[in-house]
Amino acid sequence: MKLLIVSNGHGEDIIAVRIIEQLQISLNNLEITALPIVGEGYAYKKLHIPIAGKVQIMPSGGFVYMSKNHLFSDIQGGLLQLTVEQLKVVKQWGKTQYPIVAVGDIVPLLFARLSGSNYAFVGTAKSEYYLRDSHGTWLEQTSWLEKQFGSVYLPWERWLMSGAISVYPRDTLTTTILQQQGIKAHNLGNPMMDGFAVSSTSERLDRTLKIVLLPGSRQKEALRNWQQILAAVSEIVNNLTEYELIFYAAIAPTVDITLFQQLLLANGWKQSSSEKLLFEQRKATLWLAQNAYNQYLQEAHLAIAMAGTATEQFVGLGKPVITMPGEGPQCTFAFMEAQSRLLGCSILLQESPTEVVPTIKSLLNAPDWLKAIAKNGRARMGNPGAAQRIAHHLKTTLLQKSS
């Protein structure tokens, strides 16, 4: 049996890999191939999963939908030619009649539908929380037209999902709404939270304040975000002197870490004589690493984040995230505002680094607020183990029907 995984983004690739790992545990004879529509498929390569067709990093970093300028730059960068090549791969795969799992949004879902093969869909990009509160009531920002559509998934997206053997939305609320629309949706959880032990700031905060810094995974934007985050860090170091401050900088493995080190030094941080990736300023310490992501998210009390998936995972741990809009392509104000709707009270959207310290002080003096954030994060992101549950369901539905 062969299986093609189609995904469109760094975070989506990671989710796909978690499902693949669980499939491989129980199906030794399953041959898996990946088609990463966006980027070079770093997560697949790390797991030694063969890549089908051509891969290429676009100027927008995958955020082509953010503006017309991004679309134009991607077209100049070869987007149309790349898409044609990738569609050829999918159509060729369809001739074999082996199944496909699409992970992400409408693009891999459309690819799966066009293939002619049996397919399943893991929906990572959309949630009813963009339009509704935790009780399922429409948000004030939700437009009349969105209410008429009846779901965050538009009619043509639901039509594409209607052909799937099974659909795995990212949360309970979205699953319920899709089921009401006649979609074969299953509430099995969100693989983003796999590998984490759920905790919360309210349960273990003391006079040591640990803050994880999440600048994102696309190098040009991450460096710009890093400068903005360091400005907020400077405010914290200068104003929260009553705490022992420990910063954890979780740098994506896809970027050049030396550039982040250089910006630290330019901002007055001194490199430790004994530890290459440990930096010091006044009484604060800052650890920089590309291989301690889970550890940093688990240990930190709060995050300063200008990222996508990492922000969601931290919220899922029941902890608060302070965010700020950047220059894009991802970290625009529109993206951050949408993220705050998705993640509710766990997201504290600020306009600039100077607003970070007052927000932290308010948080640390409001235990009921922290408890509400802990409860909210777990409700919106779910419990660990979703990849295993999805893999088992795929085994008994999509793969069984296609064998």
* Same domain flag for 235 and 300: yes
* Same domain flag for 169 and 249: no
* Same domain flag for 395 and 306: no
Q: Which CATH number do you get for residue 40?
A: 3.40.50.2000
* Same domain flag for 36 and 144: yes
Does the CA dihedral 330-331-333-338 come out positive or negative?
A: positive
State the Cα–Cα distance between residues 262 and 130, nearest whole angstrom.
Answer: 38
* Same domain flag for 106 and 225: no
For residue 66, the number of C-alpha atoms closer than 13 Å in the C-beta half-sphere is 21
Does the CA dihedral 49-50-53-57 come out positive or negative?
A: positive
Q: With 0-12 CB in 10 A as exposed, 13-18 as middle and 19+ as buried, what is 368?
A: exposed
* Same domain flag for 189 and 232: no
Structural domain range at position 45 = 2-194+384-402
* Same domain flag for 377 and 390: no
* Same domain flag for 13 and 153: yes
* Same domain flag for 355 and 284: yes
* Same domain flag for 393 and 316: no
* Same domain flag for 216 and 177: no
- Per the structure, the count of domains in the chain is 2
* Same domain flag for 105 and 231: no
Return per-residue pLDDT of the chain as tens, 403 residues. Answer: 899 999 988 889 999 999 999 999 988 889 999 999 887 888 899 999 999 876 655 445 544 444 444 444 554 444 576 677 878 888 998 899 899 999 999 999 999 999 999 999 999 999 999 999 989 999 999 999 999 999 999 999 999 999 999 999 999 999 999 999 999 999 999 999 998 876 666 555 678 999 999 998 888 889 999 999 999 999 999 999 999 999 999 998 878 999 999 999 999 999 988 788 999 998 899 999 998 999 999 999 999 999 888 899 999 999 999 999 988 777 788 889 999 999 999 999 999 999 999 999 999 989 999 999 999 998 899 888 999 999 999 999 999 887 7
* Contacting residues for 268 by C-beta, under 8 A, at least 6 apart: 234, 281
Q: Is residue 17 a contact partner of residue 43, using CB atoms and an 8 Å limit?
A: yes
* Contacting residues for 246 by C-beta, under 8 A, at least 6 apart: 208, 209, 210, 211, 284, 285, 286, 287
